[in-house]
A and B are shown apart, each in its own frame.
Chain A
Amino acid sequence: MALNGIQIFKLTPKKNCKECGCPTCMAFSMKVAQGAMQIEQCPHMSDEALASLSEATAPPMKTIKIGTGDAEFTLGGETVLFRHEKTFVSKPRYAVALCTCMDDAEVEAKLAAIPHVDYDRIGERMHVELVYVNCSEGADAAKYTALVEKANGLGRTLVLGCTDPEIAKAALEVCKDGKPVLNGANASNYEAMNAVATEAGVVLGVSGKDLNELYDTVAALEKLGNKNLVLDTTGADIKETFANTVQVRRAALKDQDRTFGYPSIVNLVKIARGDHHLQAALASVFTMKYGSIIVMEQMTYAEALPLFGLRQNVYTDPQKPMKVEPGIYPLNGADENSLVVTTVDFALTYFVVSGELERSGVPLNLVINDAGGLSVLTSWAAGKFSSTSISEYIKTEVEPKVKCRKLVIPGKVAVLKGDLEAKLPGWEIIVGPREAVQLVKFLKDMQA
């Protein structure tokens, strides 16, 4: 359980030595209780006090790292159940599943399809980050290892779904340098699996037939000294899986039950096999509610475009607006002679405006410059979307590339027209509509 400042204070040396940077031990204790400082920052803490305190002041949910290099991902570390309470920190990662039960042709098709989805959206690379390799019952070590080796060739971080310690050990031999997850511990094999995972230095996935069994197995593994875990919350069906996933996260964050303070694995292949649209719906649900690794049968552009967009939205920090990169965005096949339109770099504004502009079918160059990621009126009021900032950007970036000398500005900043005309000689400044929805009509009228 979390301690309050007074409880922590009782364990400090009460010397007020100021070596931690705080004026008094009391002040230090209050900061530790709020999570602003770590207990280790006090140089005079006794070992016993440290041990009991670091446990009690540890964050409610552990941060687990998987993969290496570019394919290293952080899971967990969440502190809130709803994003408006603070922010979500570790995005869920999506895995496409391979299985020893698939024939070679199917495996090859999956391996070829996985790298196909790879694109950029508002500065973030969108691709299938993980590959889940399942060892079905009856498969032997040679077959499974061969499949793991093939999957490893993709260069994505692997999640091994395997409950046999011997087979898992053999498979880890070929892929452990990539820091995969070994998802396979349960109530009957956890000791052996723990040894395999610890020896290979990889994260261990734990499952149980219900939440009680999962809870006990996690507690037993913690007793063995392993806290490098993820919890497979997949149940017998969709309802049970959702209930497990939500309750595990809620127990950790709301009720401070640290035994459940680990990231989750949700395997949609098990609960919606063969139904891609239902898996799409579920991937969306578990992106909203507490999946850390989400396993699916496929990830084509149809699934990826909405899903990665949703994840990017849900995992934005509410205190930091999403911004698009400054630049000239040609729309509807625009060239250097096409009309110039400008707005701010706030992602929401950009998407609404560019969507309407695309709908109009009129070729034009949408010019975005740095306006602090704020909406039109806010950035104007903050002086970040001004006649100076717009005219400078037009002069340095747009004039060399675009021949058209007509600029449409948002109706909400119509006041800038005069200044812009003075600062941009040779340009015709046109005041656009106040709302994006009026753009289609506005542009059509302009063409007429």
Chain B
Amino acid sequence: MPFNQKPQKFNAKINAVTIGSGDKTVTIGGENSFPFYTFDAPTENTAKIGVEISDLGLDEFSEGVKAYYEGATTMAEIAQKAAAIEGADFVALILDGGDPNGANKSVEELIEVVKEVAAAIDCPLVVEGCKNVEKDAELLPKVAEVLQGRNALLLSEKEENYKAIGAAAGLAYNQIVGAESAVDINLAKQLNVVTTQLGVDAKKIVMNIGSAAAGYGYEYVVSTMDRIKGAALGQNDNMLQMPIITPVSAETWAVKEATASEADMPEWGSADERGIDMEVMTAAADLAAGSDAVILRHPESVKTISKLIKALA
């Protein structure tokens, strides 16, 4: 008696959102099954990978990442090298320098960086603010303005600043709105509800439901994603059917497993290897839980996750 295979069919699906313009676009979401469950339904759009670059240049990056970008000095050159990484689908520019508690660059200065990067590459573009809610409320609308026509994804509006960012990105300049919440299904849904109430098209929203590095409270990320996908597909909850993007690298390259030097922790071995595995394992877990796109930093991580996605598609 053979095994009685019972595929799990859902009558709902995740929204498909296209980022970018012209010939080079990527579409994320669109699936009506759990991640990589190709035995239930064929994959609509495979998960996508973005490469993180920062307006602060390469100083904060690990040795292995710096080695890849060797020779690139301007933001334009860095962006081009990022876009050229094997397996990269889009470039994610993070405007870390805007942080008032850090470099505190002016909005004008950062906009120049955005323009330089946008002019240098034609692949889809994701721009992330500095995570300070007041500064982002000022910065991201300007970014939306200068990127008109690029159909870029802007990360992120939060509960505190969704009006300024959601309206500028989603209504005035027709970009895609990234809605960021703090690892909680209700907060994620609430932000989608208020953003659509502003008049933003639900099909132009991508969620960042919050993330963590593996080992750092990651159980909340798993369960939040599991529950969001369960509600989106199983209960047809259209306020949770936005695809999910997870900025992995920002979390994983900040934990001590990745940052501790080999001199400090000789038994741990190469810092670069630790950084790659922390990034790769966290990204793989994010994808298995339901992320439709991940943002990574190390070229080797991009290559590995790209292989994983192809193998499971």
Question: In the assembly, what is the distance between CA of A251 and CA of B181, in Å?
Answer: 34
Q: Which residues does chain A contribute within 8 Å of B111, judged by CB atoms?
A: none
B62 at the interface (CB under 8 A from A): no
Question: Is B39 touching A288 in the complex (CB atoms < 8 A)?
Answer: no
Question: Is B308 touching A282 in the complex (CB atoms < 8 A)?
Answer: yes
Question: Is B288 touching A289 in the complex (CB atoms < 8 A)?
Answer: yes
B284 at the interface (CB under 8 A from A): yes
Question: Is A278 touching B226 in the complex (CB atoms < 8 A)?
Answer: no
Question: Is B288 touching A284 in the complex (CB atoms < 8 A)?
Answer: yes
Interface residues of B in 270-290 (CB under 8 A from A): 270, 273-274, 276-278, 280-285, 287-289
A397 at the interface (CB under 8 A from B): no
Question: Is B230 touching A82 in the complex (CB atoms < 8 A)?
Answer: yes
Name the residue on B nearest A307 (C-beta): B281
Name the residue on A nearest B102 (C-beta): A441
B31 at the interface (CB under 8 A from A): no
Question: In the assembly, what is the distance between CA of A358 and CA of B276, in Å?
Answer: 21
Question: In the assembly, what is the distance between CA of A82 and CA of B287, in Å?
Answer: 15
**Size bracket of the A interface:** 35 or more
Q: B281-313, CB under 8 A of A: which get 1 and which 0?
A: 111110111000000000011011101100111
Interface residues of A in 315-359 (CB under 8 A from B): 316, 318, 347-348, 351-352, 355, 358-359
* A260/B255 contact (C-beta < 8 A), A242-B312, A301-B268, A309-B214 known: no
Question: Is A84 touching B3 in the complex (CB atoms < 8 A)?
Answer: no
Q: Is the interface of B mostly helix, strand, loop or mixed?
A: helix
* Shortest CB distance A78–B (Å): 15
Q: Which residues does chain A contribute within 8 Å of B164, judged by CB atoms?
A: none
B217 at the interface (CB under 8 A from A): yes
Within the complex, which residue of B38, B216, B274, B281 is in contact with A239, where a contact is CB–CB below 8 Å? B38
* Shortest CB distance B50–A (Å): 17
Question: Is A278 touching B307 in the complex (CB atoms < 8 A)?
Answer: yes
Question: In the assembly, what is the distance between CA of A255 and CA of B6, in Å?
Answer: 8
Question: Is A310 touching B214 in the complex (CB atoms < 8 A)?
Answer: yes
Q: B20-53, CB under 8 A of A: which get 1 and which 0?
A: 0000000000000000111100000000000000
A133 at the interface (CB under 8 A from B): no
B149 at the interface (CB under 8 A from A): no
Q: A237-271, CB under 8 A of B: which get 1 and which 0?
A: 11100110011001100110101100000000000
Q: Which residues does chain A contribute within 8 Å of B312, judged by CB atoms?
A: 238-239, 242, 285
Give the number of residues in B that approach A within 8 Å (Cβ atoms). Answer: 58
Question: In the assembly, what is the distance between CA of A259 and CA of B2, in Å?
Answer: 11
Q: B239-283, CB under 8 A of A: which get 1 and which 0?
A: 000000000000010111100000000011110011011101111
Question: Is A313 touching B39 in the complex (CB atoms < 8 A)?
Answer: no
Question: Is A211 touching B5 in the complex (CB atoms < 8 A)?
Answer: yes
B10 at the interface (CB under 8 A from A): no
Question: In the assembly, what is the distance between CA of A247 and CA of B6, in Å?
Answer: 9
Name the residue on A nearest B268 (C-beta): A301
Q: Which residues does chain A contribute within 8 Å of B254, judged by CB atoms?
A: 355, 359
Question: Is B6 touching A281 in the complex (CB atoms < 8 A)?
Answer: no
Q: Which residues does chain A contribute within 8 Å of B36, judged by CB atoms?
A: 242, 285
* Shortest CB distance B4–A (Å): 7
Which one of B37, B223, B304 has the highest number of Cβ atoms from chain A below 10 Å of its Cβ?
Answer: B304
Task: Report which B residues bind A (CB closer than 8 A).
Answer: 1-6, 8, 36-39, 101, 213-220, 222-223, 226-227, 230, 252, 254-257, 267-270, 273-274, 276-278, 280-285, 287-289, 300-301, 303-305, 307-308, 311-313
Shortest Cβ-Cβ A-B pairs, 3 listed: A309-B215, A215-B3, A310-B214
